[in-house]
Chain A
């Protein structure tokens, strides 16, 4: 037990008071202004449905897979969407492997609520045979690096992965039309998911002195702040979800201010995600055309200089 405490990361009292004092003059320790977001980079893997998002120093990977399962009994015509959040010990030395801590559970719930309750993903189109077969979409979020504000980064990763995911096309066959035939991707082009809108999560941090508000806290600021609130809004101005679990109380006008800020930011982030997805889709289409391998590997037996491939 003692060993564990010794390994926990703690911010010193000097660092904490420095962050608070700097905020009084509207300066943040990484040079941003209070309402400025960090740089977002959205990258995709080779396979459909795998994304990697970097929000400043925070890094999250999202993977989407699909499986044919039996639907829930009370919802026989809808597909199933499930989100699994893996807070890897890679991200933070205080994360324990094995059982997910409060942070992981809260993270998963916020993203789940944002996607499911707002009906962002169309689950009715995932139904293949009512009552028997539906697609179950599984989103795995791997937190790779904790630089603060995991919720926002994980949300963007989930959305990016959902937008680039393609599920195999299937049709009904067999004698009585009750059999489902899943077509492999080489034969029939897989289909994208129907996503109606993109709910973007924006997190705010509250500091007790003079009710200072910052957007997108880093993990140093998270250790100092008195309370946090995550609002999930979309570019149309709809509020999909708000999460404020404990922490210090804030007056009403601050909440309204947060919502207005969030809506403004959401538009910019939505545009960025869509642009990145466009680039990926174009590359994907080009990849379908090229057939010859463009890279060469290292030939082991021959005594030649290393040939540099791609």
Chain B
């Protein structure tokens, strides 16, 4: 079913992506991730000595600080911090540097829809820039379901507000293996899901679309990380 979106995209089209790393000088790792008009800046400091209170000292600890564009930090920011922390904990190798803390600071530069996936992508690139050991990278995508049942990808803020429900999906990045085809088994797992109330069928539909999108996103991620850090990379 053909859907008219305000900026002329089709249902499955993502917004133009741009990613640069090593944008800050003091931070150990930093990245900026632009998805259309949604812009997020991520900085990583770590590993620093000592684990935070109530954290297991036998593992590396991850701390996330979310800074909104304007206003005080409230419950919404705390929720984002928690989601981001859990997602990053599942992709970082926590046994390598025990009793240390890695801080990830997210600054929202502009919010035009799909903010949390943008932040997850930015945090991932910043962690790579800082050299934090990870099992694999995470690519995040946002899908929305409208009242009439169609699903769109990567909504803008206006589109998000009109939708019935949304799903933020995080996938591991696609594997480029030197092993011959067939020996790499297992299905791509999901690492984080944030979703509002949706019908079960819609959810699986979103999942399938999200999987396809994550392949494109992880290609973009791989290309931009392979470039020299001072060049910023852009893709359609």
* Chain A interfacial positions (CB closer than 8 Å to B): 2-4, 6-7, 45-47, 50, 57, 59, 61, 63, 65, 86, 88-93, 97, 138, 140, 142, 144-147, 292-293, 295-301, 306-310
Of the candidates B12, B37, B39, B236, the one whose C-beta lies within 8 Å of that of A296 is B236
Bound together, the chains give a CA A91 to CA B109 distance in angstroms of 15
Bound together, the chains give a CA A151 to CA B110 distance in angstroms of 24
B106 (CB) vs chain A CBs: closest residue? A90
A2 touches B16 (CB 8 A): no
Bound together, the chains give a CA A61 to CA B41 distance in angstroms of 11
Of the candidates A147, A292, A300, A308, the one whose C-beta lies within 8 Å of that of B234 is A308
B27 touches A145 (CB 8 A): yes
A6 touches B8 (CB 8 A): no
Known: A89-B65, A140-B70, A298-B236. A293 touches B7 (CB 8 A): yes
A-B contact pairs, 25 of them (CB 8 A): A3-B49, A7-B49, A45-B39, A46-B37, A61-B107, A88-B65, A90-B30, A91-B26, A97-B65, A140-B69, A140-B71, A142-B67, A144-B107, A145-B24, A295-B16, A295-B236, A297-B9, A297-B236, A298-B13, A299-B10, A299-B13, A300-B14, A301-B212, A306-B236, A310-B16
A292 touches B110 (CB 8 A): no
Bound together, the chains give a CA A133 to CA B54 distance in angstroms of 48
Known: A46-B110, A293-B7. A306 touches B235 (CB 8 A): yes
Bound together, the chains give a CA A50 to CA B70 distance in angstroms of 11
Bound together, the chains give a CA A35 to CA B30 distance in angstroms of 31
Q: How far is the CB of B208 from chain A (nearest CB, A)?
A: 10
Residues of B within 8 A of A45 (CB): 39, 109-110
Of the candidates A6, A97, A292, the one whose C-beta lies within 8 Å of that of B50 is A6
Of the candidates A6, A46, A146, A300, the one whose C-beta lies within 8 Å of that of B49 is A6
Bound together, the chains give a CA A274 to CA B154 distance in angstroms of 37
Residues of A within 8 A of B49 (CB): 3, 6-7
Bound together, the chains give a CA A28 to CA B90 distance in angstroms of 46
Bound together, the chains give a CA A295 to CA B107 distance in angstroms of 25
Chain B interface, number of residues (Cβ within 8 angstroms):
45
A145 touches B10 (CB 8 A): no
B48 (CB) vs chain A CBs: closest residue? A7
A300 touches B43 (CB 8 A): no
The verdict on B153 contacting chain A, using a C-beta distance below 8 Å, is: yes
Q: How far is the CB of B11 from chain A (nearest CB, A)?
A: 8
Residues of B within 8 A of A310 (CB): 16, 234
Q: How far is the CB of A59 from chain B (nearest CB, A)?
A: 7
Q: How far is the CB of A46 from chain B (nearest CB, A)?
A: 6
Bound together, the chains give a CA A147 to CA B234 distance in angstroms of 27
Residues of B within 8 A of A138 (CB): 70
B235 touches A144 (CB 8 A): no
A58 (CB) vs chain B CBs: closest residue? B25
A305 (CB) vs chain B CBs: closest residue? B236
Known: A90-B24, A90-B107, A309-B16. A3 touches B50 (CB 8 A): yes
B48 touches A3 (CB 8 A): yes
Known: A298-B13, A298-B17, A310-B16. A88 touches B236 (CB 8 A): no
Q: How far is the CB of B235 from chain A (nearest CB, A)?
A: 6
A145 (CB) vs chain B CBs: closest residue? B24
The verdict on B15 contacting chain A, using a C-beta distance below 8 Å, is: yes
Of the candidates A93, A296, A297, A306, the one whose C-beta lies within 8 Å of that of B219 is A306
